[in-house]
Amino acid sequence: MFAHLTPLPADPILGLSALSKADTNPKKVDLGVGVYKDDNGKTVILGAVQAAYEHMVETEGSKVYIPPVGWPGFTDACQELVFGEAMKADLAPHMAAIQTPGGCGALRLGFDLVHQAAPETTVWVSNPTWANHVPTLQAAGLSHKVYDYYDRENSTVDVDAMLASLEGAKAGDLVLLHACCHNPTGADLPADAWGSIIELMTKKGLVPFLDMAYQGFAAGLSEDAAGVRQVFEAMPEAVLSYSCSKNFGLYRERTGCLMVKGSQKDATAALTTNLAKIARTNYSMPPAHGAALVTTIMQNEALKQDWMDELAAMRKRINSLRASFVNALSPYGLDNRFGAVAGQTGMFSLLNLTPEQVQQLRAERSIYFPDNGRINVAGMTEANIPYLAESLSSLF
Ligand code: LMR
């Protein structure tokens, strides 16, 4: 049965961690997987998470199964973060929400639901998009097309080109949008573009699927949700995959949520039961730990404030690294070429480099990031930035 299977190439993002770990060069810099690191290069447990964990150790008392929709209160907490209290209440009769194993699990469950409801659906993804989007939608049996998004020459979003490509979509197609902190480019939709996209999706009968994995890393928790809120307000049907990996630093706990807005009578019951059934045949119910921590934090005003402060500190530090990086490039005359990095948002930016140049940096300088040129800015430190700048200059 298995004899014909041959080894596959490493994952373009996750595979880099092993390479970097094995590298003994003391100057190595890992700008690969999107995880936040502090100035010592460490991904530490957030203080609010540690406090919630200690509380949980004392109070959990059982490891019995949790309900298929997840840890009690967790999906409410996520919806409150995404929509705010008032809008969450307004949306409630139309919404289903289910806890998932991470943001990736939410994407897969969402695509599975779409495939179950309408197997012929085409998903439109941005050019470029996160390396795992297309494999995940394909694994769910869906096909995809690509819409223009990033103008590499000018390092900006080309909204006109995006709208022009989506004119080619047909009724019922799904449009995958990055809610904020676009991965891999760091270039978000301008605030005023959301209205035009909603108008076009409404006109053509398209269904939005928003991927929100970095809430709080661009401008702030509610600021980063502004586009999502407009979409869920305006569109009769919408899907959102949510990840707590980055903003709560819960990466390995696989903590995410899928939210779906439906238009039919009894939308909540119809969508929730279908989602729970798909989950049941896949992993039964999600893991409890990370969701319990998020819920504990969100239900305790002091812990919530601590968490929001820690999130703001991560955001500010990444922004200051962006500025330092571009400053460090200036003596080499590269501040123009890569200057957009300073104004982009979230963990990533896309350097306009060829795969060969990226591989050269990896081989000769022990600097690790995927071949598409995506850097995890959170992997920089004030100490490694001069080395990064000098290494980049060696390419030109
Ligand atoms: C990333 O894009 O680096 C992260 O979302 C981690 C992953 O799973 O790829």
Atom of ligand 1 nearest to the CA of 213: 5
pLDDT at 215: 98
Task: Note whether residue 54 is domain-resident.
Answer: no
User: What local confidence, expressed as pLDDT, does residue 277 receive?
Assistant: 98
Ligand 1 centroid to residue 141 C-alpha, Å: 22
pLDDT at 230: 98
Residue 135 lies in a domain: yes
Out of 16, 20, 37, 132, give the residue to mutate to test ligand 1, the one with the largest number of ligand atoms within 8 Å of its CB. 132
- 377: domain CATH number is 3.90.1150.10
Domain termination site, one of 250, 269, 299: 299
Cβ–ligand 1 distance for 130 under 6 Å, the answer yes
Our answer on whether the CB atom of 13 is closer than 6 Å to any ligand 1 atom is yes
pLDDT on residue 23: 96
Residue 339 included in any domain: yes
- Is the distance from the beta carbon of residue 123 to the nearest atom of ligand 1 less than 6 Å? no
Q: Do 367 and 218 sit in the same domain of this protein?
A: no
Q: Does some domain include residue 274?
A: yes
- Identify the domain containing residue 274 by its residue range: 65-299
Residue 246 lies in a domain: yes
**Residue that terminates a domain, selected from 299, 321, 345:** 299
Same domain, 357 and 230: no
Radius of gyration of the chain (CA): 21
Q: Are residues 88 and 222 in the same domain?
A: yes
Protein residue with its CA nearest to atom 1 in ligand 1: 34
| Known catalytic membership, residue 246 | yes
- Looking at the domain assignment, is residue 58 inside a domain? no
Last residue of a domain, one of 237, 272, 299: 299
Our count of domains for the chain comes to: 2
pLDDT at 306: 98
Are residues 346 and 280 part of one domain? Answer: no
Looking at the structure, do residues 126 and 218 belong to the same domain, yes or no? yes
Residues 104 and 176 in one domain: yes
Q: Is residue 304 part of a domain?
A: no
Ligand 1 centroid – CA 156 distance (Å): 22
145 counts as catalytic: no
187 plus 137 within the same structural domain = yes
Determine the pLDDT at residue 160.
98
User: pLDDT 10s per residue in the chain (396 long)?
Assistant: 999 999 999 999 999 999 999 999 999 999 999 999 999 999 999 999 999 999 999 999 999 999 999 999 999 999 999 999 999 999 999 999 999 999 999 999 999 999 999 999 999 999 999 999 999 999 999 999 999 999 998 999 999 999 999 999 999 999 999 999 999 999 999 999 999 999 999 999 999 999 999 999 999 999 999 999 999 999 999 999 999 999 999 999 999 999 999 999 999 999 999 999 999 999 999 999 999 999 999 999 999 999 999 999 999 999 999 999 999 999 999 988 999 999 999 999 999 999 999 999 999 999 999 999 999 999 999 999 999 999 999 999
Looking at the structure, do residues 183 and 329 belong to the same domain, yes or no? no
Using a pLDDT cut of 70, give the percent of the chain over it: 100
Q: So what's the pLDDT on residue 200?
A: 98
Ligand 1 proximity of 33 Cβ (cutoff 6 Å) = yes
CA of 12 to the centre of ligand 1 (A): 10
Q: What integer pLDDT is reported at residue 123 of this predicted model?
A: 98
Does residue 136 line the site of ligand 1, with CB under 6 A?
Answer: no
- Ligand 1 geometric centre to CA of 394 (Å): 28
SS3 track for the chain: CCCCCCCCCCCCCCHHHHHHHHCCCCCCEECCCCCCCCCCCCCCCCHHHHHHHHHHHHHCCCCCCCCCCCCCCHHHHHHHHHHHHHHHHHHHHHEEEEEEEHHHHHHHHHHHHHHHHCCCCEEEEEECCCCCHHHHHHHCCCEEEEEECEECCCCEECHHHHHHHHCCCCCCCEEEEECCCCCCCCCCCCCCHHHHHHHHHHHHCCEEEEEECCCCCCCCCCHHHHHHHHHHHHCCCEEEEEECCCCCCCHHHCEEEEEEECCCCCHHHHHHHHHHHHHHCCCCCCCCHHHHHHHHHHCCHHHHHHHHHHHHHHHHHHHHHHHHHHHHHHHHCCCCCCHHHHHCCCCEEECCCCHHHHHHHHHHHCEECCCCCEEEHHHCCCCCHHHHHHHHHCCC
| Ligand 1 pocket: which of 20, 129, 130 to mutate (most atoms within 8 A of CB) | 130
Catalytic residue among 76, 173, 188, 211: 211
Among 71, 124, 130, 194, which one carries the catalytic annotation?
A: 130
pLDDT digits (tens, 9 = 90+) for 213-245: 999 999 999 999 999 999 999 999 999 999 999
Question: Do 116 and 28 lie in a common domain?
Answer: no
Instruction: Based on the fold, state whether residues 187 and 252 are members of the same structural domain.
Output: yes
Domain match, 272 and 149 both: yes
CATH code of 125's domain = 3.40.640.10
Q: What is the pLDDT of residue 238?
A: 98
25 occurs within a structural domain: yes
Q: 77 and 165 share a domain?
A: yes
